Structure 1
Amino acid sequence: MHAPIGLFYGSSTCYTEMAAEKIRERLGAEWVDLHNIADGDIAAVENYDFLIFGIPTWDYGELQEDWENCWDELALLDLHGKTAALFGLGDQEGYPQWFQDALGYLHAQVVTLGARAVGYWPAEGYQFEESKGLTEDGSRFVGLALDEENEFELSDERIDQWCAQVMREFGLSQ
């Protein structure tokens, strides 16, 4: 027996892992199974109707290495009938032209595979130049945008608000 939500993340510096753990803590361990994609098979996403994906953007808008390693396998999965929310980590001051780009890449992939995406997050209040992680109109990110380098003091409140939003959008409100 597994929890209703599968949370899959890749993390090189442990910040994405810590955010994943905070999300699981906020939602409750009975609701969320954590999966570090470096340690398991990405095909396990097919075992869940509700998915949360966590991805940091590396360097100049690149995928994190664990996501890059399973990207081709992810592309073969069928996510029709699944609902997915995403969160990303980035550095809006150090990499303002690529802030949350990997979040945008993963969102495009998940939607292409048939998942319904939820958990969009307002872009207001962030300071960056460009992002592939924005909705078409540029008003929202395609998932929760966290910046542990420059705005770590805002992360807990953002995670709290986003978790409540995602549970409503999943139809699993506690």
Structure 2
Amino acid sequence: MKKVGIFYGSDSGNTQTVCEKIASKLGKENTELVDVAKASKDQLLGFDNLILASSTYGSGDLQTDWEDFIGSLDEADFSGKTVALVGLGDQDTYSDTFCDALYHLYDKAKGGKLIGQTSTDGYTFDDSKAVDGGKFVGLAIDEDNQDDMTESRIDAWVSQIKSNFA
């Protein structure tokens, strides 16, 4: 398996913790965790395999560090890259923008081979830009209301995507 660059933005620490769990399940020797606040465009584009992770803030916005960084990827070429996405959100308080950060990451990386779409089953929300064809465009995690499901969702998702990171 080629090395996977896991780029995350985290204010409260939840996204970082989720990414550390993902890295552990993929094998720490196979992954490099990078806080997007300290990342460069060249560093991100240096990986053929990527996991991009952000929590959703306010009314469907990216996490602050991602907000600052995402513009640097406007001209980025994701062709030839395998990309998986992770979004965190609160489906109770922000039911109409649940995990919208996934959409913003998806919109930037859609030129690559996107993997890791997940079912909306088991979630209760009104709307999300991150749903395409009845599935989330990546892994959706709700640490606020369903933290008891995080581990099993990560396990299932990592099993689904691992073989794509050849």
Q: CA deviation at 1:168?
A: 2.3
* Corresponding position of 2:119: 122
* Corresponding position of 2:144: 149
Q: Which amino acid aligns with 2:39?
A: G
2:50 is the alignment partner of 1:51: yes
Deviations along 1:5-48, one digit per CA (max 9) or x if unpaired, are 11101111110000010000111111111100112213312111
How far apart, in 2, do the equivalents of 1:151 and 1:43 lie? Answer: 36
How far apart, in 1, do the equivalents of 2:106 and 2:112 lie? Answer: 9
Q: Within 5 Å, which residues of 2 pair with 1:7-156?
A: 7-111=6-110, 114-135=111-132, 137=133, 139-156=134-151
How far apart, in 2, do the equivalents of 1:158 and 1:55 lie? Answer: 16
TM-score (norm 2): 0.96
In structure 2, stretches of 5+ residues that fail to align are none
Secondary structure of the equivalent of 1:99?
coil
How far apart, in 1, do the equivalents of 2:104 and 2:35 lie? Answer: 19
Q: CA deviation at 1:169?
A: 3.0
Shifted more, 74-83 versus 11-20: the winner is 74-83
TM-score (norm 1): 0.91
RMSD: 1.1
Q: CA deviation at 1:145?
A: 0.3
In structure 1, stretches of 5+ residues that fail to align are none
- Superposition misfits of 4+ residues, deviation over 4 angstroms: none
| Paired residues of 1:4 and 1:32 also in contact (CA < 8 A) | yes
Percent identity over paired residues: 38
Deviations along 1:93-150, one digit per CA (max 9) or x if unpaired, are 0100000111011101111xx2110000001110000000111x2x210000000000
Deviations along 1:52-111, one digit per CA (max 9) or x if unpaired, are 010111011111110110121011222110010001000000100000111011101111
